[in-house]
Structure 1
Amino acid sequence: MVAVEVLRVFTDDRGDYGNPLGVVLDGGSVPETAQRQQLAATLGFSETIFIDDAERGRLQIFTPATELPFAGHPTVGAAWVLSRELGRSVSTLETPGTRIATWADGDRVWVRGQLAATPPWWHERLADSAAVDALDGPLDPEQDATQLWAWRDEAAGVVRARVFAARYGVPEDEACGSASMRLAAALGRDLTVHHGCGSIVYARPGPPGTAEIAGRVVSDGLMA
């Protein structure tokens, strides 16, 4: 039986909400890519990660439908679990497709990724937060990887957002780091993104071609 720990990434400051993440700490227990994809689909989280080398921060990321070279909440969660539970304070994470810088600032875990490695999210701005709250799916069924957003407080950089990602086997993602990275890069400013039902993502532009995201993480323990 494969041991899977469940984290919640991008919680609020009380440790509530957050996007569930499946973590296989012993990646070697699921050696084949097809087996990993099957497990990710069975678990049904928006992403599941497999840690293959804790010393080097090497991992693989799977949605229920496909493997990704980079995703936001899995890399934030991986950095947290490596440091807090495995005692490996790595400065770089590696997937088969990219390298990701990571560091901690108080209770927030940061990652910096290449925008070219992120999924190609479509962004659409709505009139206000109430319009985002009222959504029951994307505005167009063909928008199968989209972040819909509105300013909650434009002067302060506070955004209300939701993500729908049928392309990746995720009807709605509670808190999407990579889409928030791309939004911060497009707007050219620091953002506090109130995502999904109550999660919080911190996002900002990074050096050219990159953006950064941060969030708080809690563990819900091993799955029964």
Structure 2
Amino acid sequence: MTDYDVLRVFSGPGGGYGNELGVVRDGSTVPERSDRQALAAKLGFSETVFVDDPERGVIDIYTPTLRLPFAGHPCVGTAWLLDVPEIVTPAGVVGARQDGEFSWIEALPEWAPPRTLRQYATAAEVDGLKVPPPGEWIYAWAWEDEAAGRIRARGFPGRDDGIDEDEATGAAALLLTARLGRALNITQGAGSQILTAPQPEGWVEIGGRVFLER
């Protein structure tokens, strides 16, 4: 069996919740894309990362059904695990930094996969949503406290791969931050926390807590 680490990315303030991420530190053990896709499907995480160069931070990202050029929580988690100043993805070079309990990356919104950002009137409406049928990737959100930038969100991938709801979605938070043009404090899923902040020239920072699960 291929060795891999399991991280929890975007954990809540008490250290719970977060989105699990599989990381194969030695990507050379699974060199073929088809084998990587098969392993990602077998592991069943929302994303699995294969590290192709740990010193330069070169990674390859897969969901259970497809390869992604960029994704938020895999970049945040892998940057923390490798302790590197940048992550190199097919979409572009992602800046990375550590700041106390938070791991941060900096990326461009156009790197994110398409998401339907659907606003609701209240956080209670978001909490009450049922998983929609497969189709579009929906990021449901509502203001909890607009003045403070606090948002309640849930992510529904809309894929038939066993991932009905994404516990924490950095790419969707990136797109929402770019749309709203302000820093956000997002509570997603059962209790995950994502922080964001717009940067000059269209860049957006995304931050969260990362823990090594096993």
TM-score normalised by structure 1 residue count: 0.91
User: Within 5 Å, which residues of 2 pair with 1:98-109?
Assistant: 98-109=92-103
**Structure 2, unaligned runs of 5 or more:** none
User: Within 5 Å, which residues of 2 pair with 1:4-153?
Assistant: 4-83=4-83, 90-138=84-132, 141=133, 143-153=135-145
> Partner letter of residue 183 of structure 1?
L
Structure 2 residue aligned with 1:190:
183
The answer to whether the 8 A contact 1:64-1:168 is kept is no
Percent identity for Structure 1 against Structure 2: 48
> Partner letter of residue 116 of structure 2?
W
CA distance in 2, matches of 1:155, 1:65: 39
How far residue 143 of structure 1 moved from its aligned partner, in angstroms, is 4.9
How far residue 104 of structure 1 moved from its aligned partner, in angstroms, is 1.1
Number of aligned residues: 213
- Secondary structure of the residue aligned to 1:173 is coil
The answer to whether the 8 A contact 1:66-1:168 is kept is no
CA distance in 2, matches of 1:122, 1:208: 24
Structure 2 residue aligned with 1:87:
none
TM-score normalised by structure 2 residue count: 0.96
CA distance in 1, matches of 2:160, 2:210: 23
How far residue 168 of structure 1 moved from its aligned partner, in angstroms, is 7.9
CA distance in 1, matches of 2:26, 2:85: 20
The answer to whether the 8 A contact 1:116-1:209 is kept is no
**Structure 1, unaligned runs of 5 or more:** 84-89
1:126-166 alpha-carbon deviations (Å, 9 max, x no partner) = 1101101111124xx46521100001111100000001012
How far residue 115 of structure 1 moved from its aligned partner, in angstroms, is 1.2
The answer to whether the 8 A contact 1:185-1:204 is kept is no
User: Within 5 Å, which residues of 2 pair with 1:159-170?
Assistant: 159-167=151-159, 169=161, 170=163
CA distance in 2, matches of 1:161, 1:16: 17
How far residue 203 of structure 1 moved from its aligned partner, in angstroms, is 1.2
> Partner letter of residue 106 of structure 2?
R
Question: 1:199 is matched with which residue: 185, 192, 207?
Answer: 192
